[in-house]
Each structure stands twice: as structure tokens, then as C-alpha cells.
Amino acid sequence: MPAVDGVDGVGGLAGLAARAVDALGEWGVGLFTLAETVFPPIPSEVILPLAGFLTRQGSMNMALVLGTSTLGAYLGSLLLYWLGARLGLERSIRWLSRVPLMDREDCEKAADWFSRHGKSAVFFGRLLPGVRSLISLPAGAGRMHLGTFSAFTVAGSGIWNALLIGLGALLGAQYRLIDEYSRFFNVAVYAAVAAVAGCLILKGIRRRNSRSGRGGA
């Protein structure tokens, strides 16, 4: 298998995404992780391995990618921490549940995780998809010490990001895996698009039924 030259050797949607990440640069990856922490556009499980792949190809600096992605995740977590502290848990959950792709069940799962595991939930929660971002809400609502919250968030986010970036770097060294990853990426993107559409349709149906129920009452 010939060596892959930058992103030119990656085809399909994976190639388009890799070129987009390459154009964003290291600080763009940090901005993405900030946005991904607050809202769920494309998960870090997709973007950070691509960034790691580009570090292996020499297009990005691995230390800077790790630093900016962790900083972005921390700043996004601070926003949710502040929201929980400002509005309280119930009001912040109610507000976030109105955002597309944000489900009340996910927020409540994060709150339950925090209530069962305490402060350590912030660290370990950063390693669990579905809990990673939202664990900041109950931490803020519970007035967890900001220094402890910051230390656990940075540590957990750094480990998670390093794993994903390292996976991408390993992919860059194993050229035979690139075609397999490209196929997986294409399927994942199509599945994500279908999930987004389904989620928006279900939310619309629920809101319409809720309004109809209030009108009938």
C-alpha cells in the first residue's frame, strides 16, 4: 500500500472532513470542541481522530491539537457549569431540552450520575459519551468548588482527547486501515444525519401533542 500524502489519500466523506479539519487548524479544532461540549453538532469521536491523523501526516502539531482541544472542552464545560449555577438544575435542564438534539433524559442521566458518584463523576463522566458534556450542569447546580471542577474537567478531557487523537495518529501510521476507516466514517455520518432528522421529527411530534393536550384540557 503506498504512503498517504496528507489528506489527499483519503477519499469520500472522510476525505472531505479531513480537509475541513486541516483548513481549521489547531485552534479551529479547539473551537470545535468548545462548541461540541455545549451543543452536539458532530461528536469529538469523529473530529479528533481526524486531527490526530493529520498530526501524523505533518499537517498539525500534536501537542497543540491536544492543548487546544482540551482548552475548548474546558471552556465549554465552564459555560454549562455557569448555567447550572445560575439557573439551578431543573431550570437549566428545561432550557437545554428545547435545543435540537438535547434530550431531557440525557440531562437527567448526567444529574443521576453526579448524585451517585459525587465530585469524581466530573472526572470519570468526561470519559463517557452521553455524560461528558452534561455532567457540568449538576456540578454547577451543586456549587461544586470551581478549582476542583476545573482540575477534574481538564484531567478527564485531556485523557479522552489524547485517546482519540492518538487513535487518529495510529491510523495515520497504518495506511491499510485508512480505507476501512473511510467506509466506517461514511456510514457513521449517514447514521448521524438520520438520527438528527429523526430526533427533530420526534421533538416536533411531542411538542404538537403537548399543545394539543393542553388545548383539549
pLDDT tens, residue by residue, 92-134? 888 877 776 677 777 888 888 888 888 888 999 888 876 777 8
Say if residues 73 and 135 touch (Cβ distance below 8 Å).
no
Residue 125 and residue 117: Cα distance in Å, rounded?
10
Residue 123: HSE in the Cβ half-sphere, 13 Å Cα cutoff: 9
Domain range summary for the chain, segments of one domain joined by +: 12-216
Lowest mean pLDDT of 91-95, 110-114, 197-201, 212-216, name the range. Answer: 212-216
C-alpha cell, 9:
489519500
Residue 53 and residue 169: Cα distance in Å, rounded?
4
Residue 26 and residue 32: Cα distance in Å, rounded?
10
Say if residues 134 and 77 touch (Cβ distance below 8 Å).
no
